[in-house]
Amino acid sequence: MRDIRAALLKEIVTASIWAAFGLGVLFATRPVWSQLLFAETGALTDQVAIRCLGL
């Protein structure tokens, strides 16, 4: 019974780490994908210049 609980806890911890990573990536890239979805479509190079160069 302890082995099952330990394995389940390990899976839950692993899943929560991956979920946090996925949410972090989603949040970090929000300025680009929100512009692509909700605003006028600009060139991808313009989006990269805005984020990387701070223009």
Tokens representing 50?
A: 């805005």
CB-based contacts of 47: which residues, under 8 Å, 6+ apart? 32, 35, 36
**Residue 2 or 18, more confident:** 18
Q: Is residue 26 a contact partner of residue 37, using CB atoms and an 8 Å limit? A: no
CA angle at 13 for the pair 29 and 4, rounded to the nearest 5°: 150
The pLDDT tens digits for 16-26 are 999 999 999 99
pTM of this prediction? Answer: 0.59
Per-residue pLDDT at 55 exceeds 50: no
- Residue 47 C-beta-side C-alpha neighbours within 13 Å: 15
Per-residue pLDDT at 13 exceeds 90: yes
